[in-house]
Structure 1
Amino acid sequence: MKRLAWVRAGGRCLLCNQYLASEHLGGPGPIRQIGEVAHIVGESRQGPRGDSVTPESRRNEADNLMLLCPSHHTEADSGRLSDELYTEDYLRGHKRTKEAWVKFVTGLSSERTTTVLRLFGDVRSSTNLVGVDEAAEATMREQLRTPHYLPDPRGVGLTIDLTTVPDPGTTDYWSACITAMQPELGRLRAAIRNGDTSHVSVFAFALIPILVALGYLLDDANNVDIYDRHRETNSWLWDAEAPMIAFKYRIPETRDATEAAVLVNASGTIEPAELPAPMRAIPQIVVEPVGDHISGPSTFASHATLDAFVDVIRRLLAALEEHKQLAHVHLFLASPISAAIAIGRAWPHDNAAPRFTVYHRTDNTYQPAISFPISEE
């Protein structure tokens, strides 16, 4: 029964996740096992939580045992029995959850790996770097992929920190961010060329023009999953129960216009009157949900919605190829993280594609931020 408790826990404390079989005693000798198998309900009526309805004949079975580190074993059995962390219901629930997670994780294939790319910058004085554990949970739960981190001297894997770039939103800020992104993206491209990476999972939190640039520099040739930070749940996990929202686009008569504005209403609505005056005088192409759905923060709750959005963006870009006189597209986005990155990835890199500029929204207006194409080196 004790061995079964060790196996079900994966050798980790079920309360603090400490690995309990990792320390050697002064050399290459036997591994020191510092874990302790504790009773949830005391072995006798006089033991901790011993007044439970669980029959005494079943209290030494694995379902009543949990692997703990010495510190948590001591706390669970003395002095803190009134603490809700150590009630029978809490311990049983925590045991079920953690042991189920161990079983799930150890069932993942070592061949389905993904390289995790984390990017974070300043968004209205807020930064949000996804934690290594949180990214791992998302990749495993969503795509059944085991996370992999490219080795680096800092020990943080493939991470792009733009919070040190000064003056967010200013003219110099955009070029400085792209310069700061290039070394890590160069490492990623090298890993792909060398065969060390075949799949990338992207977790990013930055201003929209930076997200579009990230997608453009990743381009569409690599196998990439894009994750989104969902406001309502404060999670990077997609909601499989959320409905799929379809999108459409409408292109007005462009005639001989050489420029057009593209308004993407994915997580909000951009009114034409909000655009800079020169943009109101050129054709305006609108991407928006089908039917009566009004775009908002919860529109992109499901991954199916992102897929539907990417599909309509690809169809729009194919349609724009028929308007060969369009040399410059001005892009205005009310979109979540995932949609902004997806647009950058979908935009063609060939010379036939029109040049495009992504705009950044300030308090009262839009300002041009980054123009594409941009160098990938």
Structure 2
Amino acid sequence: MPGGATTRAFGPKGETRTVPDTVARQVWVAAGGRCTICNRYLLADNVTGQEVPIGQLAHIVGWSTAPGSPRGDHDFPVEQRNSAENLMLLCHDQHRVIDHKSLWEVFDVDTLLAMKRRHEERIRKLTGLGHESRTTVLRVVGHIHGRPVELTSASVTTALLANNRFPDSILRGADEFEIDLRAIPGEPISSLAYWAAARNHLEDGLRHLCTQVRKEAVNHVSVFALARIPVLVLLGTYLDKMLQVDIYPKRREGKKVWGFDDFGATVRFGSEILRVGKDPTRVAILCSISGSIDINRLPPEVLDSHTIYELRPNTMLPTPELISTKAALDQFSQAWRILLSTIEVDHPGVSAIPIFPAVPPAAAISIGRHLLRAAHPPLHIYDRAPSSPGYFFTASTEA
């Protein structure tokens, strides 16, 4: 523990060895006062809450070459085994684990050195972030066609740190603000009651966040959302009031759980008219991004009278992984804004736009976010019917 001219390092049987205070302080600071393995805070007792240092300095290579010294037969020089390079900060439990003879092969020297390096790099990166890097986390989770969605705090924090941000603690005394739609009944059958309840739940959950934005208590929001596409379009319409928003998509594979790829193929999007309707004031939009929308499956009232536009990738087939980078999302958002402007000019008098989105979650949020409700007609959002190949109305973006 830190303090005094020297401090102690503990052996597997409770024996101690003195370590210079400067070395001990170096190890404690580099580890951020947390266990290198389980991340437990080691400057307070969990039971009493008292500020008592409970961490232990553990040797990676045992301090002795004698039999029974954990990893002691390694060729690391004996005279350097009390150096910061060979010491890691652990809680009592993890220290017992790595020094248990049955686990020496599991926790070998290279493994422990890698753990020490990763932990200390994470602490250095986190503590190096300034006030301007703080963000308020907004989590929106729901069922998707009956399948539950899980979103852990650990995965959120990992994604934020990879983007050089850290969670704020303004809202409700927590570092995250969550809207949980999983308890709303009727999602598997897409009942009208479900969509109405989901919208009300969004409005209630975002009311406090919007207030904090207006007060300038929140200046950056990080969005982690995975729910039904119409819900995410509605979510985006509320985010248009917020100045700075980062969207973190759920990844299907790879090391990252949430977030965009750093690199990817360049994707461009464009729109075209698939069918000219009888009434120029009636317009519908198909968004064929993660999959293709079959125009012949649209509701008869749309097919009979609406001019139908389709927004899709220019040179690629629609796939769920198409928008894998921030640049691709930006390209989609730009094409979406251009299409809205085109409709505004070429179809004056449009009162509402039916939209049929086959898009990934990040694009759904962007659709809502870039809709200017004061200037653009409201969207009438349609979704695939659960028991037929057709589409049905779910919600409107009208305020």
- What TM-score, normalized by structure 1, do the two folds share? 0.91
| Uncovered stretches (5+) of structure 1, i.e. residues with no partner | none
Name the counterpart of 2:16.
Answer: none
Q: CA deviation at 1:35?
A: 0.6
**Is residue 2:67 matched to residue 1:42?**
no
Amino acid in structure 2 at the alignment position of 1:289: P
| Rounded Cα–Cα distance in structure 2 between residues aligned with 1:182 and 1:240 | 33
| Rounded Cα–Cα distance in structure 2 between residues aligned with 1:24 and 1:258 | 66
**Is residue 2:183 matched to residue 1:161?**
no
Q: CA deviation at 1:158?
A: 1.5
Shift in CA distance, 370/83, structure 1 to aligned 2, threshold 3 Å: farther
Moved more, 306-315 or 144-153: 144-153
DSSP-derived class of the 1:95 partner? helix
State how 1:261-340 maps to structure 2 within 5 Å: 261-281=284-304, 282-291=306-315, 293-322=316-345, 323-340=347-364
| Rounded Cα–Cα distance in structure 2 between residues aligned with 1:137 and 1:25 | 28
Name the counterpart of 1:219.
Answer: 240
| Rounded Cα–Cα distance in structure 2 between residues aligned with 1:103 and 1:89 | 21
2:137–2:175 CA contact under 8 A, matched in 1: no
| Rounded Cα–Cα distance in structure 1 between residues aligned with 2:242 and 2:92 | 50
DSSP-derived class of the 1:192 partner? helix
State how 1:187-266 maps to structure 2 within 5 Å: 187-233=208-254, 235-251=257-273, 253=276, 256-266=279-289
Match of 2:141 among 120, 139, 142: 120
1:244–1:302 CA contact under 8 A, matched in 2: no
| Rounded Cα–Cα distance in structure 2 between residues aligned with 1:299 and 1:25 | 50
Amino acid in structure 2 at the alignment position of 1:203: F
Name the counterpart of 2:390.
Answer: 365
2:136–2:175 CA contact under 8 A, matched in 1: no
1:115–1:200 CA contact under 8 A, matched in 2: yes
Deviation per CA, 1:150-179, whole angstroms, max 9, x where unpaired? 4428x5742111111110111111111111
Larger Rg: 2
Q: CA deviation at 1:140?
A: 2.6
- What TM-score, normalized by structure 2, do the two folds share? 0.86
Higher relative contact order (CA 8 A, sep 6+): 1
Moved more, 15-24 or 3-12: 15-24
DSSP-derived class of the 2:270 partner? strand
2:382–2:395 CA contact under 8 A, matched in 1: yes
DSSP-derived class of the 2:250 partner? coil
Q: CA deviation at 1:199?
A: 1.1
1:265–1:334 CA contact under 8 A, matched in 2: yes
1:256–1:325 CA contact under 8 A, matched in 2: no
2:70–2:101 CA contact under 8 A, matched in 1: no
Match of 2:172 among 148, 152, 165: 152
| Rounded Cα–Cα distance in structure 1 between residues aligned with 2:65 and 2:261 | 44
Moved more, 109-118 or 337-346: 109-118
Name the counterpart of 1:22.
Answer: 44
Q: CA deviation at 1:91?
A: 1.1
1:13–1:19 CA contact under 8 A, matched in 2: yes
2:298–2:391 CA contact under 8 A, matched in 1: yes
Deviation per CA, 1:314-344, whole angstroms, max 9, x where unpaired? 1111111102143321111111111001100
Aligned residues: 367
| Rounded Cα–Cα distance in structure 2 between residues aligned with 1:99 and 1:140 | 14
DSSP-derived class of the 2:102 partner? coil
Name the counterpart of 1:54.
Answer: 76
| Rounded Cα–Cα distance in structure 2 between residues aligned with 1:217 and 1:106 | 32
Q: CA deviation at 1:26?
A: 7.1
Deviation per CA, 1:50-109, whole angstroms, max 9, x where unpaired? 22232323322222211100111112112332452x222221111111111111111101
**Is residue 2:374 matched to residue 1:344?**
no
Shift in CA distance, 348/25, structure 1 to aligned 2, threshold 3 Å: closer
| Rounded Cα–Cα distance in structure 1 between residues aligned with 2:61 and 2:264 | 40
| Rounded Cα–Cα distance in structure 2 between residues aligned with 1:333 and 1:295 | 12
